[in-house]
Amino acid sequence: MTQELGYLKESPSQTAGPYVHIGCTPNFAGITGIFETDLGTSMVNDKTLGERITVRGRVIDGAGMALKDAIVEIWQADAAGLYNSPSELRGTADPNFTGWGRCPTSADEGIFTFETIKPGRAPYKDGRKMAPHITVWIVARGINIGLHTRIYFADEAEANAEDPLLARIEQRNRVATLVAPREGSIYTFDIHLQGEKETVFLDI
Amino acid sequence: MSDLSNKKPETGAFFPRDRAWHAPALTPGYKTSVLRSPQRALLSLDGTISEITGPVFGHSLLGELDNDLIHNFAKDGESAIGERIIVHGRVLDERGKPVPGALLEFWQANAGGRYRHKKETYLAPLDPNFGGCGRTITDEDGAYRFRTVKPGPYPWPNGVNDWRPAHIHFSIFGHGFAQRLITQMYFEGDPMIWKCPIATTIPDRNAIEQLIAPLDWANTIPMDARAYKFDIVLRGRRSTLFENRLEGN
């Protein structure tokens, strides 16, 4: 017999359920007076460095219907490619940029919207630069474990072409599911949970 | 966002997730999962700096009653109706290390199983003194605690006669975005856990039991509140033994 490795098991995930808003965005759910504001509503202020952009989209189920009870969270680098996290050792991120946002999909059309900045490039593990991207996490009723994906930007074709993650997608026609088209300062990113246009989801 | 300056920041990638321990995406007994589950395989990738980093929240975020659901929505001098309980425990990672500075958000139905949500139509009444949400941040030992009333079971439109066991939802932030987790806590001895199409999306009985909080008699406060202990385990991360150096590091 050898020594035991002694690792614990991760707590298993469960669905966020239809009332996730009560806990994560109570003011949005109409429960006021407990928290002043809903966390993650605002990522930028007047002093935030970088190009202001809007990222919006829908989360769409296998029947083509937009989810109206999902919560989308995003996490991204600042304009210089630095993360606002204690584990960021390459430098100090822009103190006027949180890097993290949370938005429930709207009750009418199921749209999420983030007012943010375009992230700079951060390095892959081997030092190559990743293309600018936003990390996305989606939870909702019917989703047993949060889904990770990434948003890349259609006007970064050159960087996207050399991105190590995009390069690993074997079915090249699926790369487009991670690339948001641009119109003015708005990027539109629809997330398809299932079917022909299924978004590439990540196990990271 | 705050710094946890007392500890050296960790920069290792996270242990791979054991997806056989978690529920699969498609669990037809839980009907909503049928059209909301990806059908294609996930793209696997060892964590990059985009996932090993994550937002960290400062204690200054918290209000005085954020971890007291009995009082944080109640009128002055009043309190929520129900079985008064304390829920406490620690947030650890898979290596058994405490996770300090972890933000926990929780939400639940009231003692009668009624959620305060506009889409909720269950005929059990709202408690005017109960909102149903709270939050806290773990201390240096990874410990957390909050006060609430025990939620009631609640019927839901899945099967003809499906009822959720009493449960409290938890949303947990560790130190890396790859640790992000939402789960549910159940209560020791509840016979409904094993009938529940959501709890049983998890294939391994031992994994379901990891979500069941035992009654903690030692920490029960006499003449006030019983205690339940619920430890949460987030993904561990590799020690950076021989990692490639990140550019600029």
Tens of pLDDT, residue by residue over B144-155, are 999 999 999 999
DSSP result, A35-55: SSS-TTS--B-TT--S-EEEE
In this complex, the residue of A18, A137, A194 whose CB is nearest that of residue B38 is A194
Q: What global pTM score does this model have?
A: 0.96
Residue B92 CB burial class (10 angstroms; 0-12, 13-18, ≥19)? buried
Q: Is the pLDDT of residue B53 over 90?
A: yes
DSSP result, A112-166: EEEEEE-----B-TTSPBPPSEEEEEEE-TT-SSPEEEEEEETT-HHHHHT-HHH
Q: Is the pLDDT of residue B12 over 50?
A: yes
Spatial distance between the Cα atoms of B242 and B229, rounded to a whole number of angstroms: 38
Q: Is the pLDDT of residue A173 over 60?
A: yes
Touching A: B residues 136-165, CB under 8 Å: none
Catalytic residues of B: 115, 154, 164, 167, 169
Residue B229 CB burial class (10 angstroms; 0-12, 13-18, ≥19)? middle
The CA–CA distances, whole Å, from B194 to A109, A198, B187, B198, B203 equal 36, 33, 12, 10, 12
CB neighbourhood size of A184 (10 A): 7
B168-196 confidence digits (pLDDT tens): 999 999 999 999 999 999 999 999 999 99
Q: Identify whether the C-beta of residue B57 lies closer than 8 Å to the C-beta of residue A87.
A: no
Touching A: B residues 83-102, CB under 8 Å: 92-96
In this complex, the residue of A9, A26, A198 whose CB is nearest that of residue B39 is A198
Taking residues B115-138, what's their average pLDDT? Answer: 96
Q: Is the pLDDT of residue A79 over 80?
A: yes
For a pLDDT cut of 70, what percent of chain B falls above it? 93
Residue B10: what pLDDT?
84
Of the given ranges (A73-77, A90-94, B6-10), which has the lowest mean pLDDT? B6-10
Spatial distance between the Cα atoms of B37 and B19, rounded to a whole number of angstroms: 14
Which band of pLDDT confidence, cut at 50, 70 and 90, is reported for residue A30?
very high
The tokens for A8 are 């614990």
Q: Is the pLDDT of residue A159 over 50?
A: yes
Q: Is the pLDDT of residue B239 over 90?
A: no
Largest CA distance in chain B: 60
Which band of pLDDT confidence, cut at 50, 70 and 90, is reported for residue B243?
low
Q: Is the pLDDT of residue A18 over 60?
A: yes
CB neighbourhood size of A45 (10 A): 10
Q: Are strands B154-156 and B103-107 parallel, antiparallel or unpaired?
A: unpaired
Spatial distance between the Cα atoms of B151 and B130, rounded to a whole number of angstroms: 11
User: Pick the residue with more confidence: A115 or B240?
Assistant: A115
Residue B112: what pLDDT?
98
Which band of pLDDT confidence, cut at 50, 70 and 90, is reported for residue B245?
low
The tokens for B206 are 């031992």
- Average pLDDT over all residues of chain A: 97
Q: Is the pLDDT of residue B119 over 90?
A: no
Chain B residues within an 8 Å CB radius of A123: 49, 246-248
ipTM over 0.90: yes
Q: Are strands B162-164 and A71-76 parallel, antiparallel or unpaired?
A: unpaired
The CA–CA distances, whole Å, from B69 to A104, B47, B83, B217 equal 23, 37, 12, 21
Which band of pLDDT confidence, cut at 50, 70 and 90, is reported for residue B249?
very low
Of the given ranges (A123-137, B94-108, B234-248), which has the lowest mean pLDDT? B234-248
Q: Tokens 């474990």 identify what position?
A: A145
Spatial distance between the Cα atoms of A29 and B112, rounded to a whole number of angstroms: 20
Selection from A141, A171, A58, A149 nearest residue B177 by Cα: A149
Spatial distance between the Cα atoms of A44 and B20, rounded to a whole number of angstroms: 39
Chain A residues within an 8 Å CB radius of B235: 10
Which band of pLDDT confidence, cut at 50, 70 and 90, is reported for residue B8?
confident
Residue A80 CB burial class (10 angstroms; 0-12, 13-18, ≥19)? middle
Residue B248: what pLDDT?
43
**Chain-chain contact of A23 with B177 (C-beta, under 8 angstroms):** no
Q: Is the pLDDT of residue B1 over 60?
A: no
B62-100 confidence digits (pLDDT tens): 999 999 999 999 999 999 999 999 999 999 999 999 999
**Chain-chain contact of A126 with B202 (C-beta, under 8 angstroms):** no
Taking residues A115-122, what's their average pLDDT? Answer: 98
The residue of chain B with its CA nearest to that of A140 is B36
The residue of chain A with its CA nearest to that of B14 is A204
Q: Is the pLDDT of residue A8 over 90?
A: yes
Chain A residues within an 8 Å CB radius of B15: 7
Residue B49: what pLDDT?
96
The tokens for A107 are 């009750």
